[in-house]
Amino acid sequence: MKRIGVLTSGGDAPGMNAAVRAVVRKAIYHGVEVYGVYQGYQGLINGNIHQLEAGSVGDIIHRGGTILRSARCPEFKTQEGQQQALKQLDKHNIDGLVVIGGDGSYRGAKALTERGYPCVGVPGTIDNDIPGTEFTIGFDTALNTVIDAIDKIRDTASSHERTFIIEVMGRDAGDIALWAGLSGGAETIVIPEDPIDMESMKERLMKGLKRGKRHSIIIVAEGVMSGNELADKVKEMTGIETRVSVLGHMQRGGSPTARDRVLASRLGAKAVELLLANKGGRAVGIERNELVDYDIIEALSLPHKLDLDIYQLSKELSI
């Protein structure tokens, strides 16, 4: 490996910049040139590729978003798109590619791997839904953003003795809702992994009211239903008037937490190590604070596991 590329793709996540920095600096440290691919797979197809020096990634470790920018790229799902991308990699003499992103980005890396091109996937998404790693880059920061919002909403909820529904991100995974629910002290958490049971939700709300609870916080992951839909259902079943807050894309922004910066630095550097050892077709992750790597094709076939202990605990503590 004389020259490697790096791209960020899919929904951006705080800490992606720290991961890009780690890839660039680690590679240069080992005498390897690095090229940044701008705008994700779209930029790969279009040849939006430029050399990065150690200084190109200075002053970015604390910044949210991604300096390489990101895109969702349907064209890359086609044969033509993938062939075009491979042509660009060949034209720029790039011997291996680090892909930082979520499940869609991994599928892109898998497609290149299946065509014989060495890629390493680095999990970067606020959703925490990538198999083969306990935590993804950006999850911790998003979680802290959500908790900050819950704490603020709790102030007004308690002043007005209201029930609030807070809709958080998570299309297919309930990790943000679950972890924010536990650490924000929510009464009820609604996640895609567990079918919603309106009867038991009603029971919990009523029980809380009976024992003098003056306000409640319900967290719903957007993948289940919108906050407004849930508000209608709660009203219909219990007569309780709620207020809804949709946190939306603010969850994807902000300066990464120390935890995300460290995770991003470790995973970015590990990805380069694998490429330098000629180990393409891998996905890196963290398990029990140890860095791990899997065959990327195998990793994609593993199910994402919700932490059931945390789920159970959240139920026990929100009585």
Residue ranges in contact with ligand F6P by CB under 6 A? 11, 72, 102, 125-127, 169-171, 222, 252
Is 307 an active-site residue? no
Task: Give which of 59, 146, 71 is closest to 104, Cα–Cα.
Answer: 71
**Minimum CB–partner distance for residue 135 and ligand F6P (Å):** 15
Between residues 119 and 126, which has the closer beta carbon with respect to ligand F6P?
Answer: 126
Question: How far, CA to CA in Å, does 24 sit from each of 5, 60, 87, 186, 278?
Answer: 9, 12, 23, 41, 17
Residue 69 is assigned to a ligand binding site: no
Residue 3 is assigned to a ligand binding site: no
CA angle, 174 then 177 then 183, to 5° = 135
Task: Give which of 23, 14, 42 is closest to 105, Cα–Cα.
Answer: 42
Q: Are strands 282-287 and 290-295 parallel, antiparallel or unpaired?
A: antiparallel
Between residues 5 and 40, which has the closer beta carbon with respect to ligand F6P?
Answer: 40
Residue 119 is assigned to a ligand binding site: no
Between residues 102 and 281, which has the closer beta carbon with respect to ligand F6P?
Answer: 102
Between residues 208 and 227, which has the closer beta carbon with respect to ligand F6P?
Answer: 227
What span, in angstroms and rounded, lies between the C-alpha atoms of 51 and 179? 39
Residue 252 is assigned to a ligand binding site: yes
**Minimum CB–partner distance for residue 134 and ligand F6P (Å):** 18
DSSP letters for 286-314: EETTEEEEEEHHHHHHSPPPP-HHHHHHH
Exactly one of 12, 95, 127, 140 is catalytic; name it. Answer: 127
Extract the annotated binding site for substrate: 125-127, 162, 169-171, 222, 243, 249-252
Catalytic (active-site) positions: 127
Extract the annotated binding site: 11, 21-25, 72-73, 102-105, 125-127, 154, 162, 169-171, 185-187, 211, 213-215, 222, 243, 249-252
Extract the annotated binding site for Mg(2+): 103
